[in-house]
């Protein structure tokens, strides 16, 4: 997270975004997916639900893959696989995932992601493999 201006801010594109209120900041070299926690995002222990970490990482890593394949991040990709490791719970309500591409081939793109809170604590790491959808 920096003062740098995103190329695109995508916040109301899908039903899931509206249901959970997360926002994608697309940069040339990464995507950040931001979320401010409320009751919709918690598990039965009152902490951030594992599925939310994963959704943030899938979104950040997938948009980074789209952006690596197209200047407007409009290239359709599908997730082949995603792995998430859960390290810690956030100490701030605002959390964000940062997704970066480690390799973009002709049809397959690899991304890595990290989730942070506002104290800079690493909360989760993830990696995904995405496939370009042609046509």
- The interface with its own copies within residues 32-51 (CB under 8 A) comprises 38-45, 49-51
Nearest distance from residue 3's CB to its own copies, in Å? Answer: 26
The answer to the question of residue 112 lying near its own copies (CB under 8 A) is: yes
- Per the structure block, which two tokens stand in for 99? 């997704």
What is the rounded CA–CA span in Å between residue 68 and residue 16? 23
Nearer to its own copies, 4 or 102 (CB): 102
The answer to the question of residue 58 lying near its own copies (CB under 8 A) is: yes
Burial category of 121 from C-beta neighbours within 10 Å (exposed 0-12, middle 13-18, buried 19 and up): middle
Q: Which stretch binds its own copies (CB under 8 A): 1-9, 73-81, 92-100?
A: 73-81
Neighbours of 13 (CB within 10 A): 10
Neighbours of 129 (CB within 10 A): 16
Buried b (16+ CB within 10 A) or exposed e, 71-95: eebebebeeeebebeeeeebeeeeb
- Applying CB under 8 A, which of residues 65, 110, 113, 117 lies at the interface with its own copies? 110
Positions that interact with its own copies (CB under 8 A)? 13-16, 18-20, 38-45, 49-52, 54-56, 58-59, 62, 76, 78-88, 102-103, 107-108, 110, 112, 122, 125, 127, 129, 131
């Amino acid at each position: 997270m920096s003062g740098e201006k995103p190329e695109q801010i995508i916040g109301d594109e899908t039903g899931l975004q509206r249901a959970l209120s997360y926002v994608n900041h697309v940069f040339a070299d990464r995507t950040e997916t931001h979320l401010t926690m409320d009751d919709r995002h918690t598990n039965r222990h009152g902490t951030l639900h594992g599925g939310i970490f994963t959704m943030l990482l899938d979104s950040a890593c997938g948009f980074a893959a789209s952006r690596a394949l197209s200047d407007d991040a409009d290239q359709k990709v599908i997730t082949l696989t995603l792995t998430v490791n859960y390290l810690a719970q956030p100490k701030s309500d605002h959390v964000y995932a940062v997704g970066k591409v480690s390799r973009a081939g002709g049809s397959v793109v690899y991304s890595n992601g990290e989730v942070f809170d506002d104290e800079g604590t690493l909360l989760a790491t993830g990696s995904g493999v995405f496939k370009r959808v042609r046509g």
